[in-house]
């Protein structure tokens, strides 16, 4: 809908009607917090057998008692399982406690304080910069802000990051030490990197020898459909190119079993694994291996993980579909409203030109909370004020139905207000 074609009076009337309709919608009295991509209860129930069977598992593996201290890098079977998931070798894996974000923070902290593989500690340098893909995962950007790492925003394209731009940035500037990547079903765009992008990232020339790709493969098993996206194995490419030290890969079972109570993983070259283990030694005597035994017994192998993820997909898919159907009905062909149609992961990325903040604000008035507009950008600056991250996992279907009704009305109102202000200099919010 091009609201600019209406007169001021027509628009004021239309806005008034929309506001009345909005009040009617609100009578359903639902409130939904979609600020983060939390699994819903039905998904958590999928993994309850793991806890119910906890007493039946064998906690002694090859003479190692998982109930005791030790095994800094994780138990053998858990490292094996993760090596299969990540597509690397068992001795290239550290299996740690519940959160991959914790591991990412720790690894950045180690680099800042101690350097990587003998390089100058990053906090001794005048400047450290990371490339941050936009829209991207807000928590990656928070880590950078926390450590005073300067963020260079680079736009995502349909096949992953803009590689021409990235190659030109890292080739000449040795203060650029890292890039955050969510290579499969990116948060929030849902994009999976093409083979070419993976190859270029692994092989590009970097001015900094201690440049690292923070490969956050959080959604490696999170397909919504049986024919999920396929991501090229960066370990294969980097191994062949002799750049394996460049890859710092992460993942977790937060959205396979239990968020915050699963297993997290770091995978990289053996040299990096040894270097990180050297620092971890001072931090802990070993991870929660009881949880590792439980996960290995429950998850079993890749094909069983696929089966478990199919159950999650059955719960998630209808909510992604409902969003797409309702938005298509309302905004199909509308240049001002665009949204992603991911085949996996946890998010839909919605663009509403120059009125994202207002849409989030209006939705909150009807009890529907989205991540604050701008969160998916470094320093929370979305120049175009257009991006909103939608987390369909959180609401039930009924709540999702309500949330999209609220969102649609909020978008219409925000756009009418915008046109009234821009064209007629009339402040409809006053
Ligand atoms: C891309 C990405 N990485 C990491 C995380 C957090 O993972 P964990 O629970 O393992 O800390 C999330 C959670 O939403 C995420 O979207």
> What would the pLDDT profile of 320-333 be if each residue is shown by its tens digit?
999 999 999 999 99
Model confidence at 112: pLDDT above 90: yes
Dist. CA 326 → ligand 1 center (Å) = 28
Confidence of residue 1 (pLDDT cuts 50, 70, 90): confident
CATH no., domain 3-44+306-424: 3.90.1150.10
Residue 30: exposure state from Cβ atoms within 10 A (0-12, 13-18, ≥19): buried
**What residues does each domain of the chain span?**
3-44+306-424, 48-304
> What would the pLDDT profile of 152-190 be if each residue is shown by its tens digit?
999 999 999 999 999 999 999 999 999 999 999 999 999
User: Which of helix, strand or coil describes residue 421?
Assistant: helix
What does the pLDDT read at residue 126? 97
Average pLDDT, the chain: 97
Dist. CA 102 → ligand 1 center (Å) = 9
Dist. CA 101 → ligand 1 center (Å) = 6
Q: Are strands 337-339 and 264-267 parallel, antiparallel or unpaired?
A: unpaired
Confidence of residue 385 (pLDDT cuts 50, 70, 90): very high
Q: Are strands 129-134 and 247-252 parallel, antiparallel or unpaired?
A: unpaired
- Residue-wise DSSP of 190-253: -----HHHHHHHHH---S-TT-EEEEE-TTTT-BSSSS------HHHHHHHHT-GGGEEEEEES
What does the pLDDT read at residue 257? 98
Going by alpha carbons, the residue nearest to atom 14 of ligand 1 is 37
Is the CB of residue 382 below 6 angstroms from any atom belonging to ligand 1?
Answer: no
CATH no., domain 48-304: 3.40.640.10
Is the CB of residue 347 below 6 angstroms from any atom belonging to ligand 1?
Answer: no
- What pTM was computed for the model? 0.97
Residue labelled with tokens 């309850």: 48
For 1-5, 145-149, 351-355, 404-408, which range has the lowest pLDDT when averaged over its residues?
A: 1-5
> What would the pLDDT profile of 259-314 be if each residue is shown by its tens digit?
999 999 999 999 999 999 999 999 999 999 999 999 999 999 999 999 999 999 99
Identify whether the C-beta of residue 181 lies closer than 8 Å to the C-beta of residue 145.
no
Dist. CA 423 → ligand 1 center (Å) = 42
Identify whether the C-beta of residue 177 lies closer than 8 Å to the C-beta of residue 122.
yes
């Amino acid at each position: 809908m091009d609201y600019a074609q209406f007169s001021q009076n027509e628009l004021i009337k239309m806005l008034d009607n929309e506001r009345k309709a909005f009040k009617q919608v609100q009578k359903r009295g639902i409130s939904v917090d979609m600020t983060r991509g939390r699994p819903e209860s039905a998904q958590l129930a999928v993994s309850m057998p793991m806890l119910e069977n906890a007493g039946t598992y064998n906690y002694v593996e090859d003479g190692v008692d998982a109930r005791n201290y030790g095994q800094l890098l994780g138990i053998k079977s858990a490292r094996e399982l993760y090596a299969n998931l990540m597509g690397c070798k068992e001795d290239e894996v550290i299996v740690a406690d519940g959160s991959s974000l914790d591991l990412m923070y720790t690894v950045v902290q180690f680099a800042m304080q101690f350097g990587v593989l003998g390089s100058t500690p990053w906090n001794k340098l005048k400047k450290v910069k990371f490339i941050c893909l936009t829209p991207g995962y807000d928590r990656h950007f928070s880590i950078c802000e926390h450590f005073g790492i300067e963020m260079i925003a680079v736009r995502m394209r349909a096949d992953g990051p803009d590689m021409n731009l990235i190659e030109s940035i890292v080739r000449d500037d040795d203060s650029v030490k890292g890039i955050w990547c969510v290579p499969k079903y990116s948060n929030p765009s849902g994009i999976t990197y093409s083979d070419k992008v993976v190859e270029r990232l692994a092989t590009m020339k970097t001015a900094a020898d201690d440049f690292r790709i923070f490969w956050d493969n959080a959604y490696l098993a999170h397909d919504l459909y049986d024919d999920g996206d396929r991501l090229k194995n960066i370990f294969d490419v980097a191994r062949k190119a002799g750049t394996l030290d460049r890859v710092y890969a992460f993942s977790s079972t937060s959205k396979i079993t239990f968020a915050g109570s699963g297993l997290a993983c770091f995978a990289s070259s053996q040299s990096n694994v040894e270097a990180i283990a050297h620092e971890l030694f001072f931090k802990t005597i070993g991870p929660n291996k009881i949880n590792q035994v439980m996960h290995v017994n429950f998850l079993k192998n890749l094909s069983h993980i696929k089966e478990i993820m199919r159950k999650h997909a059955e719960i998630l898919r209808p909510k992604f579909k409902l969003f797409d159907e309702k938005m298509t009905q309302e905004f199909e062909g509308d240049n001002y409203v665009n949204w992603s149609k991911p085949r996996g992961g946890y998010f839909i990325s919605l663009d509403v030109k120059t009125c994202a903040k207002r849409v989030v604000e209006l939705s909150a008035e009807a009890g529907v909370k989205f991540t604050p507009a701008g969160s998916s950008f470094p320093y929370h600056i979305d120049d175009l004020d257009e991006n909103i991250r939608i987390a369909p996992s959180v609401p039930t279907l009924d709540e999702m139905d309500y949330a999209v009704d609220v969102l649609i009305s909020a978008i219409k109102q925000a756009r009418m207000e915008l046109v009234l202000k821009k064209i007629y200099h009339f402040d409809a919010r006053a």
